[in-house]
Structure 1
């Protein structure tokens, strides 16, 4: 079992990492501002589900594949970039009425949850980050390393839920106020589309 000091240190660092601007928290921010607190929280849960997959991958050693295989790394990042371009296209073509709940704009919680998962698991940098970050806090003398990695992954996910949940609630509240104006709503759509395109470009150009 990990020591209390290690757990507290790891959790504190994880919270700080969650606050640092990155694709995932920006995704939560934009979706919450556009669709509200509830949808933002669902997207956050999807992202955290993706983190579960990354935790398992690191524990089983699968993440090493993305660290050592240029092909696997490139394919996954391009799939993620393509998905972000698709989301950008949807945001650019959306009208104020669509986002506010028109027939073309109704997005189920299931789809929002899936978006969060896809957004997270198609970023190979997350697996590589976990592979580099989690083992630094393991204590081989305290038990099986694989079990410790799963525990650390769970702590990281808990920190992510707290941080991203706060972002979703704040952005959802502010977005709700801004969406009272159709003009402001259309501006939010264009900002979201631009952000998604920027994230797609960043993901497509990252290196191992």
Structure 2
């Protein structure tokens, strides 16, 4: 029975997506900062949103919708700059909320919902995800196996799984580091450091995805 995807591409694909997920980017920086500032539960709520956003990109790629970004480069630039602006908005929100009392061990339901939605929006506006599904994923699809649609779903599913593992480890590490830091640093300065960190991530994303 033939494999739906070429078995010889699976390991190279996993290595490629692992390296991509380990490359510093908006998701990695934001998730680490959320986990450090608000705790593990909040971090995993953000991971859930980021994962759903990535799944939407995967589905769009499988249906061929990401090719629109190649047809209309201005649309990619629009996604890029809206994503950068979204990160700056998150930075401003973190700066304005610095010093407010909160319980990292039991964040409010509204907080978790907000982090989920911000993670979803942030990844839908993440040009790094767009570049992956436009430029890299098609190179692992082979015509002598299952349909391109099925191969895109399978390989995209592997990418989502790898991203969940990497992002979960970032949250676990960030929440541990945050718990240690909060014993030494006042909440005001922790929040402002988080805001500056998100702003730096936005600047890095704008620079790394420039034409």
- TM category (shorter chain) comes to 0.7 to 0.9
Deviation at 1:72, TM superposition (A): 1.6
Deviations, residues 128-156 of structure 1 (Å, cap 9, x unaligned): 22111111111210110111011111000
Gaps of 5+ in 2: none
Match of 2:145 in 1: 142
Structure 1 residue 204: deviation in Å?
4.3
Q: Determine which of 74, 77, 82 is the counterpart of 1:74.
A: 77
Question: RMSD value over aligned CA atoms?
Answer: 2.1
- Stretches (4+) displaced over 6 A: none
Q: Which residue, out of 158, 161, 164, partners 1:161?
A: 164
- The alpha carbon displacement at 1:3 in A equals 3.7
Question: Would the aligned equivalents of 1:99 and 1:106 in 2 still touch at CA under 8 Å?
Answer: no
2:13 corresponds to 1:14 = no
Distance in 1 (alpha carbons) for counterparts of 2:192 and 2:159: 32
Moved more, 128-137 or 197-206: 197-206
Q: What residue is the counterpart of 1:44 in the other structure?
A: 47
Q: TM-score, normalised by structure 2?
A: 0.86
Gaps of 5+ in 1: none
TM-score (norm 1): 0.88
Q: Which residue of 2 aligns with 1:201?
A: 203
The superposition leaves residues 102-140 of structure 1 with CA deviations (integer Å, 9 ceiling, x where unpaired) of: xxx885221111111111111234212211111111121
CA contact (8 A) 2:83 2:122 kept: yes
- Name which of structure 1's ranges 108-117 and 120-129 shifts more when overlaid on structure 2: 120-129
**1:34, CA displacement in angstroms?**
0.7
Report the 3-state secondary structure (helix = DSSP H, G, I; strand = E; otherwise coil) of the residue aligned with 2:101. Answer: helix
Give the SS at the match of 1:126: helix
Q: How many residues end up aligned between the 2 structures?
A: 204
Partner of 2:112: 109
- Mean CA deviation greater in 150-159 or 135-144: 135-144
Structure that is richer in helix per residue: 1
